Structure 1
Amino acid sequence: MYKISVNKEIFNDLLLKKLKVLEKSTSSYWKRELLEPKIINDKIKYTIKQIDKIKITNGLGEDKPQMIIECKKVDYSFKKDLFEFHFGKILEQKNSDMSEDYKDTLIQVLLQERVQLQDSMNRDHLTGVYNRRKMENDLSAFVNQNNKDLLTAVFIDADRFKGINDNFGHETGDKALIYLAKRIQKYADILNGEAYRYGGEEFLILCFLPKDELLKKLEQLKEDIKSQKIYHSKKDISLTVSMGVAFYKDCKTKDELIKKADDCVYIAKDRGRDTIVVS
């Protein structure tokens, strides 16, 4: 196994995952070990040997701090004339003598990574808004809050969305969904709520706002969505949405709240689309 000795600061930065790429000068040793010559069309060309793991040490002696770390890739930078080791997870570690400050920082980094991982699991990969699983978890919490009588579900469904995919392609359909999500998230913040992608071209807002003010803002959202067009080489595309609104104070369960809002969307479609129906 290859070994690289580094100073204490770099060692701790690797341990804390603050440093993920380690640069190493192209000494004769590393050139000999990592550059593999091949003869192609009577010319000598070099490829870079790839390593699956590498030992990182700090200090001297048998009890020196060390770790074995995953090596995802080895690159050579012609501009800098050095090798770049791209590291992944730490496989083994021993004799680490991190200071208490570094230990505290490591804990903070790990907690932050956990929060970031949880957040990414709760978000729709295309639009960036929260997904249906997050909506269901939030809804369970919202119905137990003191202000639950203000809780409102707003179902938003893009009109004739299949036609966009069929006539302009799924890439354009994705652009339309991203456009919708940005507008919906903007108004969800105004409505004292949160936006979710429920599925396909369906979005949902859970919010807390008095009815009159809510409906006024939703009308603005509906008009805002169709005020701008999505560019396509064939022609620019206009979007409209149908909305269904339901209030938790009129429902016995959280499932009934979602169903009522969804039913109102179907009524809005039957009324010609581009409209808002309140339960």
Structure 2
Amino acid sequence: MSVRTTVTLVLALFSFAAATPQATSIPFPEELLKGEQRRPVKEVVEDFTLHRQVGGLRLLGRQSVFEYLVARPDFAASLAHAAGVLKYTVTRQGPAEYWADDHKGLTGRLEILQAAEGQKVFYAQGRYKKGIIRIPGRVALVVHSAEGREGDSFYVENTISAFVRVDAALLDPLARLFRPIVERIMNNKVAFFFRKANELSTKLAQDPEAVLQKLPPDTWQKEVAELRILLKADQADIGHRRQAQTRLSRTSP
């Protein structure tokens, strides 16, 4: 379901194994539903086939890096490809619009509606194709994120709220009967993506240059330079914390 295209893209960045359904629902920002331009988004949010909210999606690393990559899906996809983690194609079509293909049946247009600190909102429209199956659909996705820490390691805890709408006219009368199938497909796609994204974030945290140097020469120079600054700042912060802990342990009786 192209709807899951958004979920598959974003993203990102995540470990689905620890995911748990959330009792408190994340509301979709009302200001993003106003105006004729946002009518397709409003249709999805107000007349969805499936609404799924999942928390506990954990990504190793700092929120500054997470925020940077989520705001640049095309760059994130190139990093994942260079690291041998994922082979997605994401092409920028406008200031906040992209075309994406996961090469596993999902293709569609992705738009970043909001990129505030701690919250990202996406809208996607596309198609899921597998064998003779062709299912067009849309998704409106809200991603809440917050940084946490365990010892010297930092992580980003994510909660996603996805509104999925099947747009096939022939399927519409039966769309809600397909919710278990739609949910299973979406969960599988999210699980796969978050698992792979967590693999990428781990590689960036442990040895960023091993990933960055695999990018084609003369590509993403500005983004690579900016990402290096963020990663070095994170490493320096960890180093300072370790030094402080060492000094504290030496002075403790």
TMscore range, shorter length:
under 0.3
- Bigger Rg, which one: 1
Question: Normalization by structure 2: what TM-score?
Answer: 0.28
TM-score by length of 1: 0.26
Bigger RCO (CA 8 Å, 6+ sep): 2
